[in-house]
């Protein structure tokens, strides 16, 4: 028996739930979650796919580990956090999505007990059947830590004792996809080989509109990265991925297919490539 502080009581360590959960159909709940590190990450990496899912009637959630408190050279952490979370809510609203924030600090996202617990609670409240997160190996450690948090929470959130929040019917281990790192390169500069492409040719305009609502980041990125192509860089990468499958624009993913996770490619089944 283990003491569970979050339930303030004793709970048996019984993982028999896992086999039962796998009997549930992950597609029974059409609920998708993009769990990213910072406001605007989802818009850059997977918003086109989220638009397509919303068009098919999926319930969409966007969540960030941080509020983006370091995304400025001129404002206080509190002011820029308020600005960036407001931008994130407006971008999510464009596709009828809901925005959530774990309220961690930029550059300090870690895989520890409190943050895993918050991630479990987040997924328990949403009960997603499809999760997007950062690449497991990425240029920024906030991204890698968020990827680990998403992976941990996606695997465990449906366990009855994992969270004090009520277990939503249909909760199960969801499909999990890692989005491209920026430029499609891992931290050593090697190209990422996707398992899955999604044609977003018709959704690129909406994806651009969502990203453009993060207006606070244009000046910040110009000063920090020496570039003024916030939207152009995103579009160029989408076009590059699109060329790989013979379409105008695409988003690419690597599917997590480890033990306990669905291994059929849901995104390809929903959005078959024309190639």
174-199 pLDDT tens trace: 999 999 998 999 999 999 999 999 99
Q: Are 165 and 153 in contact (CB under 8 A)?
A: no
pLDDT band at 229 (very low <50, low <70, confident <90, very high): confident
The DSSP annotation for 61-88 comes to EEEEEE--TTS-SSS-HHHHHHHHHHHH
The mean pLDDT value for 255-268 works out to 96
Q: Give the pLDDT score at 61.
A: 98
Q: Number of C-alpha atoms within 13 angstroms, CB side, residue 221?
A: 14
Q: Kindly report, residue by residue over 41-80, the tens digit of the pLDDT.
A: 999 999 999 999 999 999 999 999 999 888 888 889 999 8
Q: Is the pLDDT of residue 7 over 70?
A: no
pTM for this prediction: 0.88
- The superfamily in CATH containing domain 29-270 is LmbE-like (3.40.50.10320)
Q: Are 251 and 124 in contact (CB under 8 A)?
A: no
Q: Number of C-alpha atoms within 13 angstroms, CB side, residue 3?
A: 2
The secondary structure of residue 191, as a DSSP letter, is: B
Residue with tokens 């924030």: 101
Q: Would strands 130-133 and 31-36 be described as parallel, antiparallel, or unpaired?
A: parallel
Residue with tokens 């159909």: 25
Q: Number of C-alpha atoms within 13 angstroms, CB side, residue 74?
A: 7
Name the residue with higher pLDDT: 98 or 19.
98
Distance CA 88, CA 140 (A): 20
Q: Angle, to 10 degrees, between the axis of helix 77-93 and the axis of helix 216-225?
A: 120
Name the residue with higher pLDDT: 60 or 218.
60
The domain locations on the chain are 29-270
Q: Are 253 and 200 in contact (CB under 8 A)?
A: no
Q: Is the pLDDT of residue 4 over 60?
A: no
pLDDT band at 95 (very low <50, low <70, confident <90, very high): very high
Averaged confidence pLDDT in the chain: 88
Q: Which of 69-73, 107-111, 154-158 has the lowest mean pLDDT?
A: 69-73
Distance CA 68, CA 62 (A): 14
The DSSP annotation for 219-231 comes to HHHHHHHS---HH
Strands (E), 107-220: 130-133, 175-179, 196-199
Distance CA 182, CA 272 (A): 24
Q: Which of 273, 32, 14 is nearest to 160 (CA)?
A: 14
């Amino acid at each position: 028996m283990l003491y569970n502080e979050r339930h303030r009581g004793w709970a048996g360590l019984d993982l028999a739930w896992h086999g039962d959960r796998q009997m549930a159909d992950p597609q029974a709940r059409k609920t998708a979650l993009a769990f990213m590190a910072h406001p605007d990450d989802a818009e850059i990496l997977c918003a086109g796919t989220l638009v397509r899912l919303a068009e098919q009637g999926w319930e969409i959630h966007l969540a960030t580990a941080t509020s983006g408190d370091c995304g400025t050279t001129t404002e206080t952490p509190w002011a820029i956090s308020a600005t960036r979370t407001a931008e994130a809510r407006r971008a999510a609203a464009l596709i009828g999505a809901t925005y959530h924030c774990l309220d961690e600090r930029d550059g300090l996202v870690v895989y520890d007990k409190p943050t895993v617990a918050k991630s479990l609670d987040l997924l328990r409240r949403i009960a997603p059947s499809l999760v997007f997160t950062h690449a497991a190996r990425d240029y920024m450690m906030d991204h890698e830590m968020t990827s680990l948090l998403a992976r941990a929470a996606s695997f465990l959130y449906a366990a009855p004792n994992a969270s004090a929040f009520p277990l939503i019917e249909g909760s199960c281990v969801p499909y999990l996809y890692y989005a491209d790192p920026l430029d499609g390169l891992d931290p050593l500069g090697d190209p990422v080989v996707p398992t899955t492409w999604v044609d977003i040719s018709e959704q690129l305009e909406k994806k651009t509109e969502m990203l453009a609502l993060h207006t606070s980041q244009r000046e910040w990125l110009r000063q920090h990265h020496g570039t003024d192509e916030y939207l152009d860089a995103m579009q160029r990468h989408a076009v590059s991925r699109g060329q790989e499958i013979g379409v105008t624009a695409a988003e690419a993913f690597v599917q997590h297919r480890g033990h306990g996770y669905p291994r059929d490619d849901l995104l390809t089944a929903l959005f078959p490539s024309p190639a």
